[in-house]
Every structure is written in C-alpha cells, then in structure tokens.
Amino acid sequence: MKEPAAYAFSSFATVSKKWAVKQITLDLTPNEASTLEKYCNQTGKAATDVIVELIQRLSST
C-alpha cells in the first residue's frame, strides 16, 4: 500500500512561518478617497498595495 503524501514528502507537511499581519481601518475624506482611487486606476495597483508602499517609505527614526 502506498504511503500518504504527508509521509512520503514530510518536508511539505511542515508548518511554514506565517507573516504577522495587523489590520487597520483608515478614515479618508472624500477628496483623499478620490485621490487614492484615481491613483489606483492610473497605476493598476490595489489601494492596500499603495498604502503599504507609502508606509514602507517612511523613516523609522
């Protein structure tokens, strides 16, 4: 009888480390929301990606 894949490929069955994620709620003015939406439409990026990129540019000092 064949072994289950978890036994045959035990390295695939190990739990990988997951990224810790923090969810936030962002309140935008109608003008800010419009600006973000227009930018996303122009660049094809998701709003979440745009916001994360902006946060990554912030200085940590």
pLDDT in tens, 12-52: 555 556 778 889 999 999 999 999 999 999 999 999 999 99
Listed as own residue / partner, the contacts of 30-33 with beta carbons closer than 8 Å and 24 or more positions apart are none
Of 59 and 35, which is predicted with more confidence?
35
Q: How confident is the model at residue 8 (pLDDT cuts 50, 70, 90)?
A: low
In-domain check, residue 13: no
Give the chain's domain count: 1
For the entire predicted model, the pTM comes to: 0.62
Query: Do the domain assignments include residue 33?
Result: yes
pLDDT at 52: 94
**CA–CA separation, 21 and 34 (whole Å):** 26
Per-residue confidence (pLDDT) for residue 10, from 0 to 100: 52
Alpha helix ranges (H) inside 1-61: 5-8, 10-13, 30-43, 47-57
pLDDT value, residue 46: 97
59 belongs to a structural domain: yes
User: Which range of residues forms the domain containing residue 28?
Assistant: 20-61
7 within a domain of the structure (yes/no) = no
6 located within any domain: no
Tell me if 1 is assigned to some domain.
no
